[in-house]
Amino acid sequence: MNADDDYEIEVPQLADDDPMKAFLPAAFGKKSGGPDIAAQIERSRRVIPAEDKKPKDDKASDDSDSDSDSDSDSDDGDEYPVTHELILKTHERAVTTISLDPAGGRLVTGSLDGKTNLHDFASMTPTTLRAFRSVDPFAGKPSDVAESHAIHQVQFNPLGGSVFLCISAHPQAKIISRDGDIVTEFVKGDMYLRDMHNTKGHISEVTSGTWHPTNKNICVTAGTDSTLRIWDINNKRSQKEVVVFKSKAAGSAGRTKMTAVAWSGAGQTGNILVAAALDGSLVMYGGNGPFNRPAGEIRDAHKPQTWTGGLDISSDGRMVVTRGGDDTIKLWDTRKFKQPLVSVAHTSTSDHYPTSNIRYAPNSTSILTGSETGHLHILNPGNLRPELVTPVTPGSPLIAVDWHPKINQILTGSANGETRVLYSPERSSRGAYEVITRAPKKRHVDDNPEFTMDQTLGISGDAIITPGAMPGTKNRAAGKGKDPMRPEQPLQTPFQKSQPDERHIAENIPLARMLHEDPREALLKYADKAQSDPLFTKAYNKTQPQTQFADLSDEEEGPEKKKARR
């Protein structure tokens, strides 16, 4: 037999439905144990119905030439990073605000549950999508133990990224580090002073805030006390400037609630500060001062007594877009600050979620906002017509939106407590795309706390419990303060929370049988024995003296009684 001869190896032929086929190897050789990146990315692809890919205004006109427009619609959808998504479910209530640091690696979200959650894209994997820290800005205060202040706005410092501004339903705004530590807490003003120029801080709830465009140590906050206050984060005892807005529609009091504020320092207009008020006014100030009189004011920019929560300025500083509570979106020109250039109808969600915002895309190429139906609307910046309408959380209002320029990803916050990061594998980088392409974390039995932890106490079953030490440590770690007026609660150990074995107690604990016995009956049971056979006075039974009293019969009378004195 020559070496060049061919050999034929008989291979068993099995049918496709043969059960034995599952036990035969599909291939030979060493198999790669790495993750299937393509499969992980494909699992994160968004499933969008065909009718939701087009703008709603163009559906009727596109029915006639659907064949030619189908390709163009798909091309338009690919221009935006909305093909894939990463879902973060870390809040119990509606997500009202979101922000990414300038590098795009640290995400902070705020919610109606009064907490801010910090996420780090560098430490998350497809199977560990959770926040590395949850911060309650008002934890540890005895007066606020029973209160929960909703988070209105969080915003990273665009010039540094080491801290972020936290605005909650409270007169005091806070500066928190990227690791969750409170760096600065601005002072609260004196509510009994009528002149707002003399107060050192807000006297009522703060509604919005933003950072200075060129100075990383300056920020501004808007409050319901009809003021805008400019702060230096290095001086928390008093604001740097006070801008008192006197409303002409509020009568003699002249006060109204400031609902939104934006600050821009680019373009031909220079440094400008724009704010919206509850009386429907839109006011503009020079960002460098003086702030005695506004540089421009528009009365009835939106319907009075409706909450204008969405406000943003374009990157060139020429255009201002507002989303009001009167179901309209309006576009304004800062050079002709009198009438809106464009006004379109858009259903408002400010009745239930007043922090619903509107944002310019990077380089002001688009405008994006959410809707009551859970759709993301990407609008044309010139005529406010929808360029793309895509469902994100159908049936749940979309409250917060943002578009990060560096990683080219869109972030959304919804009323169902979900934070979604929309991205495109071709157009986006880092962020959510980097999380999806990582290998999932290997599971271990210790990773499941249900197997190794006591769920009622949050401790391991083998842990050593120090009586009296655990409650205070646990509450401080969770961010809950201890009320000095509340008495210390007894510690509930695993032995106390379960019903003990009665037989074990009776055999091992002395006098356990007397636990449910009446002590009076137990003592009277030995009364006769104590009288007949005393234990301590038994030695005196034979030496006791006899009674010497006289015995009297029934007929004899006793000793004469002394006569009573008259």
What's the pLDDT score for residue 27? 64
Q: Which residue has the higher pLDDT, 531 or 431?
A: 431
Q: How many CB atoms lie within 10 A of CB 417?
A: 20
Tokens found for residue 457: 């106490």
d(CA 266, CA 564): 119
The whole-number pLDDT of residue 74 equals: 45
Which residues 6+ apart lie within 8 Å of 231 measured at CB?
173, 186, 218, 219, 220, 221, 239, 240
CATH code of the region 50-60+76-441: 2.130.10.10
Residue 230 to residue 213: CA distance in whole angstroms: 13
Of residues 460 and 346, the one with the higher pLDDT is 346
Query: pLDDT value at position 139?
Result: 75
183 to 169, 200, 214, 259, 263: CA distances (angstroms): 19, 19, 21, 25, 23
Radius of gyration of the chain (CA): 38
Q: Given a cut of 60, is residue 71 above it in pLDDT?
A: no
Q: Look at 566 and 487; give whichever has higher pLDDT.
A: 487
* pLDDT for the residue 47: 84
Higher-pLDDT residue of 197 and 551 is 197
Residue 180: the pLDDT is: 93
> What is the residue-averaged pLDDT of the chain?
81
Number of other CB atoms surrounding residue 74 within 10 Å = 10
Q: What percent of the chain shows pLDDT beyond 70?
A: 74
**pLDDT at residue 204 is higher than 80:** yes
Which residues neighbour 480 within 8 Å (Cβ) at sequence distance 6 or greater?
A: 139, 140, 145
Whole-number pLDDT of residue 165: 96
Give pLDDT, residue 452.
Answer: 55
Answer yes or no: is pLDDT of 361 > 80: yes
Q: How far, in Å, CA of 103 to CA of 168, rounded?
A: 25
Position 312 pLDDT exceeds 80: yes
- Give the whole-angstrom CA distance, residue 280 versus residue 298: 8
* Residue range 43-71: mean pLDDT, rounded: 57
pLDDT of 158 strictly over 70: yes
Give the model's pLDDT for residue 2.
57
Give the Å distances, CA to CA, from 198 to 227, 243, 248, 487.
12, 12, 22, 41
Q: How high is the pLDDT of residue 513?
A: 72
**Lowest pLDDT segment from 6-10, 170-174, 295-299, 550-554:** 6-10
Asked if 256 contacts 249 with a C-beta cutoff of 8 angstroms, the reply is yes
Residue 287: per-residue pLDDT: 83
Instruction: Grade residue 64 by pLDDT with cuts at 50, 70 and 90.
Output: very low
Sorting pLDDT into bands at 50, 70 and 90, what band is 4? low
Mean pLDDT, rounded, for 484-491: 66
